[in-house]
Amino acid sequence: MVNQATDAIIEIRGLVNRFGQYVVHEGLDLDIRRGEILGVVGGSGTGKSVLLRSIVGLKRPDGGAIRVFGEDLQRLPPTRRARVERRFGVLFQRGALFSSLTLQENVALPLIEHAGLSRADAERLARVKLALAGLPPESALLNPDELSGGMVKRAALARALALDPEVLFLDEPTAGLDPIGAAAFDRLLVTLRDALGFSVFLVTHDLDTLYTVCDRVAVISRKHVLVADALPAVEATDDAWVQDYFHGPRGRAASHAAQRTETR
């Protein structure tokens, strides 16, 4: 269920996350809207990955509420909660593919485990997902360590798409890619979002990605979301980190590059 007023499919209110005495989030509010690509930025250690992990169910929050499709995740019994979480696809920072399995076996695994497909059907569908992620047919039988970094990211994306997710969570998907590989991945993400209509929660440090793919950007600072808005409003936020990040040399270069692309 979508909140009709805000078009939000995920609503986070007053979120608290702690590790012992160390408080990562305190009173964090954020919405993820249907069909949007939401970029999530912030200095190192501000809790972007912890936020992602607490939404997808890998870290239990210490307070607050996370409503997904209208259901409060903390209040759901485990089986109903697992059903909601199956509507998520997650791509972790290092891809997290099984190195002893081929790409098609990696992508087939969730289809066998969660969708109950036979191995043959799952591997057939896995090859479709690999193609969707822009990988050539011959890559299906390769192991992850036989691939370039860019291909590993695409294979991890194919696995995240295996169960046709409604929300895709990506943790720094272009980290470690060269600029051409990163730009190609960004284009792929927009193409797939446009074609398949999922929403994206995208943790990134990549300014080019923010300027070229994100509909809105959320800045995490001082344990909460400082601003979540379209880029012009975020850039105008009166905050030292925001000003350094968006108006420093790298931010200016990314902004100019995006403007040049738009006017072509």
Ligand X SMILES: Nc1ncnc2c1ncn2[C@@H]1O[C@H](COP(=O)(O)OP(=O)(O)OP(=O)(O)O)[C@@H](O)[C@H]1O
Contacting positions for ligand X (CB under 6 A): 19, 24, 42, 44-50
- CA distances to 103, 125, 144, 153 from 138, rounded to whole Å, are 10, 15, 13, 16
Indicate the residue among 147 and 214 with the shorter CB distance to ligand X: 214
Task: Output the smallest distance, CB 46 to ligand X, in A.
Answer: 4
In the complex with ligand X, the residue whose CB is nearer, 51 or 135, is 51
- Any idea of the CA torsion for 240, 25, 190, 174, to the nearest 10 degrees? 80
C-beta of 240: minimal distance to ligand X in Å? 17
Angle between helical axes of 103-113 and 119-132 (0-180°, round to 10): 120
Which residue's CB is nearer to ligand X, number 47 or number 144? Answer: 47
**Residue 52 backbone dihedrals phi, psi, to 5 degrees:** -60, -45
Give 113's Cβ-side CA count (13 Å radius): 11
CB-nearer residue toward ligand X: 86 or 223 = 223
Q: Please report how close the Cβ of residue 43 comes to ligand X at its closest, in angstroms.
A: 7
Q: Which amino acid is at 146?
A: E
Which stretches of 94-215 are DSSP H helices? 103-113, 119-132, 149-160, 179-196, 207-213
Name the residue among 87, 120, 123 with its Cα closest to residue 106: 123
In the complex with ligand X, the residue whose CB is nearer, 9 or 218, is 218
Question: At closest approach, how far in Å is the CB of 120 from ligand X?
Answer: 39
Backbone angles phi, psi at 26, to 5 degrees: -140, 110
Beta carbon of residue 55, minimum distance to ligand X (angstroms, whole number): 12
Between 42 and 150, whose beta carbon lies closer to ligand X?
42
In the complex with ligand X, the residue whose CB is nearer, 47 or 134, is 47
Distances (CA, A) of 231 to 43, 84, 264: 17, 30, 20
* CB neighbours of residue 149 within 10 Å: 14
Residue of 218, 212, 222 lying closest to 264 (CA atoms): 212
Q: What is the closest distance, in whole angstroms, from the C-beta atom of residue 164 to ligand X in the complex?
A: 27
Q: How far is the CB of 214 from ligand X (least distance, A)?
A: 16
